[in-house]
């Protein structure tokens, strides 16, 4: 995961029809909060607003076509989902919590800061309505409450520097310095699911194939001093090229690549 920098100004539709929908939902809730809390009444959310082409296009551009959670290039294989960080229809504090707690963050259904592009696996199969807080008593349960007072367990890709919490050992994600938020995000979103790890491993093998070969050659003891000097110079150039490339947020699995560069740099033999 990396931090996502979205434009401050939302797509126009969110500020017009989206604002109207938020007002309508808020008024409806005030008139009969118990019915919405019990699930007797539910909100009808308009996907043609929050999922509009203008919204999705803005997210695709801001996120470099990548899933906000796993950093896969979403548009290579799917159109992607517009995901609500705070679930709009209902929430779960725990994965096995039943029934769904309602009404959810209905007032944030069209809020620009709450929307992200996500791959279907991260969104529909893993995160879904799960949104744990460190202290559930602080949960905002209506538009009258302040979500800023919440302390979410999941890393927010639009606010948190995820690379302070999640790192990579090869293709495997881990929680840096024992970060609880990093660990819980990895576990809930299954950021080490087999298929994803396999894709990341293949990506690493391809990206650093030449560097791995040079390291093996340098550690073989079969080079003359002149050959060793030339190999070291080439190795440093290649690692620096990878470092510069990894700083580009549009790179798939950029956070993993950054950690890989540091690892390989540490393996450069002494001259």
Domain that holds residue 93: 12-150
Examine residue 175 and state whether it is found in any structural domain, yes or no. no
Asked if residues 77 and 21 have their Cβ atoms less than 8 Å apart, the reply is no
Residue for token pair 């560069």: 261
- Compute the average pLDDT of residues 217-241: 92
What pLDDT does residue 141 have?
95
Verify that 31 and 123 share a domain, yes or no: yes
Residue 1, class by beta-carbon neighbours within 10 Å (0-12 exposed, 13-18 middle, 19+ buried)? buried
Verify that 222 and 143 share a domain, yes or no: no
Give the end of a domain, one of 150, 167, 190: 150
What pLDDT does residue 221 have?
85
Nearest to 217 by CA among 228, 233, 205: 228
70-127 pLDDT, tens digit per residue, is 999 987 556 788 999 999 999 999 988 888 999 999 999 999 999 999 998 888 777 8
Verify that 37 and 139 share a domain, yes or no: yes
Question: Band of the pLDDT at 69, cuts 50, 70, 90?
Answer: very high
Nearest to 204 by CA among 74, 71, 106, 92: 71
Q: Which residues pair with 174 in a beta bridge?
A: 167
Opening angle at CA 103, ends 116 and 42, nearest 5: 100
What pLDDT does residue 262 have?
94
What pLDDT does residue 254 have?
95
Examine residue 172 and state whether it is found in any structural domain, yes or no. no
Return the structure tokens found at 48.
């043609």
Which helix (H) or strand (E) segment is 175 a member of?
strand 172-175
Chain-centre distance for alpha carbon 226: 46
Nearest to 215 by CA among 269, 257, 270: 269
11-39 pLDDT, tens digit per residue, is 999 999 999 999 999 999 999 999 999 99
Nearest to 160 by CA among 2, 30, 270: 2
Percent of the chain scored above 70 by pLDDT?
A: 98
Verify that 120 and 39 share a domain, yes or no: yes
Examine residue 169 and state whether it is found in any structural domain, yes or no. no
Number of CB atoms found within 10 A of residue 23's CB: 12
- Compute the average pLDDT of residues 217-221: 89
Please tell me which residue, 139 or 79, carries the higher pLDDT value: 139
Verify that 47 and 124 share a domain, yes or no: yes
Rounded Cα distance between 217 and 221, Å, is 8
Is the overall model pTM greater than 0.85, yes or no? yes
Rounded Cα distance between 66 and 78, Å, is 11
Examine residue 74 and state whether it is found in any structural domain, yes or no. yes
Handedness of CA 206, 208, 211, 216 (dihedral sign): negative
Rounded Cα distance between 40 and 36, Å, is 6
Opening angle at CA 130, ends 124 and 133, nearest 5: 155
């Amino acid at each position: 995961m990396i931090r996502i920098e979205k434009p401050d100004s939302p797509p126009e539709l969110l500020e017009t029809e989206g604002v109207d929908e938020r007002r309508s939902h808020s008024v409806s809730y005030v008139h009969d909060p118990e019915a919405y809390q019990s699930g007797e009444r539910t909100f009808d959310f308009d996907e043609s607003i929050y999922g509009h082409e203008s919204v999705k296009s803005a997210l695709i551009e801001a996120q470099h076509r990548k899933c906000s959670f796993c950093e896969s290039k979403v548009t290579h294989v799917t159109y992607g989902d517009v995901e609500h960080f705070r679930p709009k229809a209902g929430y779960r504090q725990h994965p096995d919590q039943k029934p769904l707690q309602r009404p959810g963050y209905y007032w944030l259904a069209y809020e620009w800061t709450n929307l992200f592009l996500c791959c279907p696996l991260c969104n529909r199969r893993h995160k879904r309505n799960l949104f744990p807080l460190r202290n559930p008593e602080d949960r905002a349960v209506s538009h009258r409450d302040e979500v800023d007072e919440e302390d979410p367990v999941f890393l927010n890709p639009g606010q948190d520097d995820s690379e302070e919490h999640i790192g990579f050992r090869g293709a495997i994600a881990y929680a840096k310095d024992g970060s609880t938020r990093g660990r819980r995000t990895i576990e809930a979103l299954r950021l080490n699911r087999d298929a994803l790890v396999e894709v990341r491993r293949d990506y690493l093998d391809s990206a650093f194939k030449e560097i791995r070969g040079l390291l093996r050659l340098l550690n073989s003891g079969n080079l003359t001093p002149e050959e060793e000097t030339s190999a070291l110079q080439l190795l440093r150039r290649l690692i620096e090229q990878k470092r510069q490339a990894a700083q580009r947020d549009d790179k798939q699995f950029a956070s993993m690549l950054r950690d890989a560069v540091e690892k390989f740099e540490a393996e450069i033999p002494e001259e």
